[in-house]
Amino acid sequence: MEILVTGGAGYIGSHTCLELIAQGHQVIIADNLSNSHRLSVERIQSISQKEIVFYEVNLCYEKAIEDIFQAHAIDAVIHFAGFKAVGESVEKPLMYYQNNLESTLVLCKTMERHKVHRLVFSSSATVYGMNSKSPIAEHASLYATNPYGRTKLFIEKILRDWSKTIPESSVALLRYFNPVGAHSSGLIGEDPQGIPNNLMPYITQVAAGRREILSIFGNDYDTIDGTGVRDYIHVMDLALGHVKALEYTLNSKVCDAFNLGTGKGTSVLELVKAFELVTGQKVPYQISKRRSGDVATCFANPTKAKNKLSWEATRDVVQMCRDSWNWQRKHPMGYLSS
């Protein structure tokens, strides 16, 4: 199939492109490189030994997207593109609502005009808010605590409404838990701009000497060791989840949501210790106060994806740490090191 991947140069997008190509699909990337690097596209090509069609475009520009749909016989779309920093979304809510919502609306309108009915959307476990008890299943109540999370929630609702109007449509909403790791080549990986918000890139940057010390946000939660528990999932498992979801959209005529997680919780301290053991790198840390908006525990019930998508995460925390470090070690400054 010919698949349009929006945000395909980004962290999860680039890994998914590789998995799509490995499964025999043709990939067209549309990305404005606002939070990604052109080099990642070159790396996808060199790893896969396949030519990739790349458009540097802002998805909000309808004409540019129309041109892509005119130029290719697109069978399905995987939609990753969007702003994703929680803190920034609180400071610039309009920017987040405008970018994330408008781009999705433009994309859907263009898909509708070209009778492209299959869509996989990059959502997040953030749509479960703070109140759900883990393991969290898809039918848990939905609630977002910040503008970024609300854009995910709103888009899920928009896609549900939209799909009801088109009987042939098939939409998979993929709610990711905590993606970490990198492709085993170490040629592509997560390259956050500025100070990382998420735990794993912070750990790897401390290990690489880019940051002095990791702050652990609270050790007085009601968890195994007092630190926050999350469901870390290897980005290559996540990538395969997208391919499976894409295959699912071939045979379904609904809009449905799926958790992509391992179903296993790991605490901050457990992850730090596993990282040190696997990599032999010391990660100095200090305990600091809780981060506002954090929950003690959040992990998935991944049964629905297993049953309906025939997908299950297979890589463990050891492999996640090894691959995250392999990327960071080879690229201490991310793509700029190249």
Q: Which is nearer to ligand UD1, 41 or 268 (CB)?
A: 268
Q: Please tell me which residue in 11, 96, 128, 148 is annotated as part of the active site.
A: 148
Distance of CA 142 to CAs 102, 191, 257, Å?
Answer: 22, 29, 12
Q: Does 335 bind ligand UD1 (CB under 6 A)?
A: no
Q: Which is nearer to ligand UD1, 199 or 274 (CB)?
A: 199
> In this structure, are strands 255-260 and 229-230 parallel, antiparallel, or unpaired?
unpaired
Q: Does 293 bind ligand UD1 (CB under 6 A)?
A: yes
Q: Which is nearer to ligand UD1, 27 or 269 (CB)?
A: 269
Contact string 19-58 vs ligand UD1 (x = CB under 6 A) = ----------------------------------------
Q: Does 93 bind ligand UD1 (CB under 6 A)?
A: no
Q: Considering only residues 128 through 167, tell me which ones interact with ligand UD1, judged by CB under 6 A.
A: 149
Q: Considering only residues 111 through 130, tell me which ones interact with ligand UD1, judged by CB under 6 A.
A: 124, 126
By beta carbon distance, the residue nearest ligand UD1 is 228
Smallest distance from the beta carbon of 99 to ligand UD1, in angstroms? 16
Q: Per the structure block, which two tokens stand in for 25?
A: 């699909």
Interacting span for ligand UD1 (CB under 6 A) from 37-45, 61-69, 192-200, 273-281: 192-200
Smallest distance from the beta carbon of 275 to ligand UD1, in angstroms? 12
Query: For residues 118 and 51, is the Cβ–Cβ distance under 8 A?
Result: no
Q: Does 320 bind ligand UD1 (CB under 6 A)?
A: no
Q: Per the structure block, which two tokens stand in for 249?
A: 């959209």
Q: Does 210 bind ligand UD1 (CB under 6 A)?
A: no
Nearest Cα neighbor of 215 from 205, 70, 160 is 205
Does residue 148 have an active-site annotation? yes
Place of tokens 């854009």: 151
β-partners of residue 54 are 29
In one-letter notation, the amino acid at residue 18 is L
Exactly one of 8, 135, 228, 241 binds ligand UD1 (CB under 6 A); which one? 228
> Positive or negative CA dihedral for 145, 311, 269, 214?
negative
CA dihedral 279, 9, 267, 140 (to 10 degrees): -160
Query: For residues 272 and 199, is the Cβ–Cβ distance under 8 A?
Result: no
In one-letter notation, the amino acid at residue 142 is L
**What is the SS3 assignment for 184?**
coil
Q: Which is nearer to ligand UD1, 45 or 198 (CB)?
A: 198
Q: Does 14 bind ligand UD1 (CB under 6 A)?
A: no
Can you tell me the distance from the alpha carbon of 15 to that of 9, in angstroms, rounded to the nearest whole number? 9
Q: State the number of binding residues for ligand UD1 (CB under 6 A).
A: 20
Exactly one of 216, 233, 317, 320 binds ligand UD1 (CB under 6 A); which one? 216
Exactly one of 202, 248, 275, 325 binds ligand UD1 (CB under 6 A); which one? 202
Q: Which is nearer to ligand UD1, 196 or 249 (CB)?
A: 196
Q: Does 98 bind ligand UD1 (CB under 6 A)?
A: no
Q: Does 86 bind ligand UD1 (CB under 6 A)?
A: yes
Q: Does 198 bind ligand UD1 (CB under 6 A)?
A: yes
CA angle 100, 102, 104 (to 5 degrees): 70
Can you tell me the distance from the alpha carbon of 269 to that of 271, in angstroms, rounded to the nearest whole number? 5
Under 8 Å CB-to-CB from 299, ≥6 apart: which residues? 134, 135, 136, 177, 229, 230, 231, 261, 262, 263, 264, 265
Looking at the annotation, which residues are catalytic? 148
Residues near ligand UD1 (CB under 6 A) are 86, 124, 126, 149, 178, 197-199, 202, 214-217, 228, 230, 268, 291, 293-294, 298
